[in-house]
Structure 1
Amino acid sequence: MKILLVGPYPPPHGGVSVHVAGALDHLRRAGIPCRVLNLNRSAPESERYIRVSNVRDLAAVLLRHARAGWTTHVNTNGHNLKSWLVALLCGVAGRFGAGSLLTLHSGMAPAYLLGGRFWRRSLAWSACTFYSRIICVNREIEETIASLGIARERLAVISAFLPPAPQKLVAPDALQAWIRNHTPLLSTALFYRPEYGFELLMEAVAQLRLRYPNLGCLVMGSGEQETEARNLVRKTGLAANVLLPGDVSHESCLALISLSDIFVRPTLEDGDSISVREAIALGVPVVASDVGARPPEALLFKAGNTEDLVAKIESCLGMAQRGRNQTESPGPYLDRLLEMYTAAVTRKNGYGYERRTCARIFRQMTNDK
């Protein structure tokens, strides 16, 4: 068994890229040959992954690994055209090798597929037919894929959370003084895009500061609207209470979460937040919006409702001092994933597609790109 993980890889550190990096480490520790095909065109050169810059290169890498007996595992959001085109190309390539799996991570995928034109659903259905198993990170995504006509026995709902390996967590020196001067301390990890709820969080911080003058809010992440976010912090007079360190390493992110009094997930839409589950595994209380898949330990607030977010944070701050949990074992997740890899190898997916048909589709997708 040899696994080719296809998807983004840090940096930047987001839910899907962190999952891919974690899966690579866990599979290698389990003695399973594993490589990453990084789909981020701007990614720097690295020994940790294979980088491609165009469709032809992507197709060549996929086909080379498929013919060498690698099983392809695609990790994608499922909420835009590029995501489904990549899924289709990878699925077709997997038909020539040891099978393929698809994981859909984004809570925005259902709205994209159900609220758009018919061609979106047709493309998604076509892509899904090439995969032996499709992993959905929550029930809503599973229901949406099933509504396309994909058999339920090929669908599985599994959280994308992989507990990090035990390690000593140390916050970056540059941030430790700021952290010591702020209490209580909130933290979050996000991309600066509308669905992540940064403005909502800032509204809540502005209200909470009236009761907690020394409140600190640490916002880790990057994104196309980062400049606007920094301007918002400055214009609203929150610069003394809000720190935006940008994209940080996964190890630093875990260390900073571990020092927090509360981890906040203010998203307006969500799949299954890895950072929420990481915070819980670290023993940090979580206040999260009531969208996507949430573990029972999280305290939920009504998505988009500032007053409810403030109330839940205050309620959480009033609770007794938390205990610290041991890091969870990745065993159950990996065991189930390995079963799917084995099934993919034996089944070779395809579902009725002859290789000549797959070859024709493959050529059409890679010509003139």
Structure 2
Amino acid sequence: MRVLLVGDYPPPHGGVAVHVQQLHGFLRGRGVDVKVLDIGKGGRPAPDVIPARGAAPFALRLARHLASGWTVHVHTSGNNPKSWVLAGVVGGLPGPKSPRVITLHSGLLPDYLAASATRRRFARVALAGYARVMAVSTAVKLALVACGVPAQKVEVLPAFCASQVRPGPVPAEVEAARSRRRILLSMAHHPSPVYGRALMFRALRELARTWPDVGLALFGPGLDSEAFIRDVREARVAGHLEVLGELEHPAALGLIARSDAFVRPTTHDGDSISVREALTLGVPCVASDVCVRPEPTRVFAAGDAADLARVIREAVAAGPLHVPQVDAGPELLSLYAELSSNNGLMASHEQGSDLGETRHAAQ
């Protein structure tokens, strides 16, 4: 079995990239011949990770693997035109002996498709070449089925590999932040307003009334932007922040593991990897109610800072709770084996047909 994963690979450590990295590690650990065709910004070289910058290098490398019969698994958001062009190209290129799978990751996908009939038609056509479509949530599946994608082809499977959650050593600034704060919260940051930074700051001001030394450790991109500095100033929370920048993923997991609670105050979501990572580590997790959250996440009313502060207090008071989380690795490995087996049977039938035609011609 040979599997080619197509998608972003860290750095940076976004949700899709982290899942591709986790799945790559899981499959390698199971002895699978697996490679990654990295279409992201790229970073340090990693074993079996092939950079594909630009359309021509990407198409050439992809075509080689399709011609050799690799099972191809695309990972993309599904909430922008570039994502759907990628899906259409990979699903439409010739390669009859190369089964294709796609995972659509974004919680913004339903709204994106609902906004335009043209988008829905394009999505239906783009997904026609895939043997299986993996949706990270029921909402994503329903949106795809509404486009005309056959329901039996779409499976709901969170993009998460619990077996690959391994906290690493943390930088000195993380240890210093932990030692300074009696209560330390953590949050993955992104410049997009979808991540709920302003809401979290308002809740932090509320928490500081009863927890004067509370700290919020932020990691991710955009922590030095003008918009970030403006929001800090307007919310008057500078004294409660631990600004850590972009951490390596093992270090980010180490930070989460040292936190009293992990917070996900997003306005939209698919199936957050960081939420499941926190739960896997036994860290109390608080998240908005914009989508179905895995147990035992504590949810708050989206957009309500007072409710967010209330639920954080409850989560910290309750303390750690370990509940097993989903691992997509074994299910995907089984799917790849099934598709490879079916493809082998088809190839055998084709060979038999060709031999029969040859004998008939010889006679």
For normalisation by structure 2, the TM-score amounts to 0.89
**1:194 counterpart residue number:** 193
Offset of 1:183 from its aligned partner? 2.1
* 2:78–2:104 Cα contact (<8 Å) kept: yes
Unmatched tracts of structure 2, length 5 or more: 344-363
Residues 270, 247 of structure 1: alpha-carbon distance in 2 compared, 3 angstrom cutoff: same
1:148-206 deviation line (CA, Å, top 9, x unaligned): 11111111001111125475643211221122111211111132211111111111111
**2:33 counterpart residue number:** 33
Residues 11, 166 of structure 1: alpha-carbon distance in 2 compared, 3 angstrom cutoff: closer
1:71-120 deviation line (CA, Å, top 9, x unaligned): 110000000000000011111236444211000100000000012x2221
**1:336 counterpart residue number:** 331
Is the aligned partner of 1:315 residue 2:314?
yes
Residues 94, 263 of structure 1: alpha-carbon distance in 2 compared, 3 angstrom cutoff: farther
Residues 168, 104 of structure 1: alpha-carbon distance in 2 compared, 3 angstrom cutoff: closer
Offset of 1:57 from its aligned partner? 1.4
**1:211 counterpart residue number:** 210
* 1:3–1:73 Cα contact (<8 Å) kept: yes
Give the secondary structure class of the aligned counterpart of 1:246.
Answer: coil
Q: More displaced, 46-55 or 177-186?
A: 46-55
Offset of 1:124 from its aligned partner? 0.6
Number of aligned residues: 342
1:7-41 deviation line (CA, Å, top 9, x unaligned): 1111111111110000000000000011111111x
* 1:65–1:97 Cα contact (<8 Å) kept: no
Please show how residues 1-369 of structure 1 align to structure 2 within 5 Å: 1-40=1-40, 42-44=41-43, 46-48=45-47, 49-93=49-93, 95-115=95-115, 117-165=116-164, 167=166, 169-223=168-222, 226-319=225-318, 321-323=319-321, 325=322, 330=327, 333-346=328-341
* 2:195–2:267 Cα contact (<8 Å) kept: yes
Opposite residue 334 of structure 2, the aligned amino acid is E
Q: In 1, Cα distance between the equivalents of 2:323 and 2:150?
A: 38
Give the secondary structure class of the aligned counterpart of 1:264.
Answer: strand
Residues 326, 28 of structure 1: alpha-carbon distance in 2 compared, 3 angstrom cutoff: farther
Residues 79, 326 of structure 1: alpha-carbon distance in 2 compared, 3 angstrom cutoff: closer
**2:353 counterpart residue number:** none
**2:356 counterpart residue number:** none
Q: More displaced, 130-139 or 338-347?
A: 338-347
Q: Which has the larger radius of gyration?
A: 2
Offset of 1:328 from its aligned partner? 5.9
Opposite residue 17 of structure 1, the aligned amino acid is A
**1:365 counterpart residue number:** none
* 1:14–1:190 Cα contact (<8 Å) kept: no
Residues 168, 43 of structure 1: alpha-carbon distance in 2 compared, 3 angstrom cutoff: closer
Give the secondary structure class of the aligned counterpart of 2:36.
Answer: strand
Unmatched tracts of structure 1, length 5 or more: 349-369
Residues 157, 246 of structure 1: alpha-carbon distance in 2 compared, 3 angstrom cutoff: same
Q: In 1, Cα distance between the equivalents of 2:223 and 2:250?
A: 23
Q: In 2, Cα distance between the equivalents of 1:67 and 1:257?
A: 43
Residues 167, 112 of structure 1: alpha-carbon distance in 2 compared, 3 angstrom cutoff: closer
Residues 147, 206 of structure 1: alpha-carbon distance in 2 compared, 3 angstrom cutoff: same
* 1:71–1:100 Cα contact (<8 Å) kept: yes
Q: In 2, Cα distance between the equivalents of 1:297 and 1:195?
A: 23
Residues 155, 293 of structure 1: alpha-carbon distance in 2 compared, 3 angstrom cutoff: same
**1:366 counterpart residue number:** none
**1:359 counterpart residue number:** none
Give the secondary structure class of the aligned counterpart of 2:302.
Answer: coil
Q: In 1, Cα distance between the equivalents of 2:296 and 2:310?
A: 17
Relative contact order, CA 8 A, sep 6+: which one is greater? 1
CA RMSD in angstroms comes to 2.0
Q: In 2, Cα distance between the equivalents of 1:190 and 1:12?
A: 12
Give the secondary structure class of the aligned counterpart of 2:306.
Answer: helix
Give the secondary structure class of the aligned counterpart of 1:5.
Answer: strand
* 2:300–2:307 Cα contact (<8 Å) kept: yes
Q: More displaced, 21-30 or 289-298?
A: 289-298
1:48-80 deviation line (CA, Å, top 9, x unaligned): 421122112111111011111211100000000
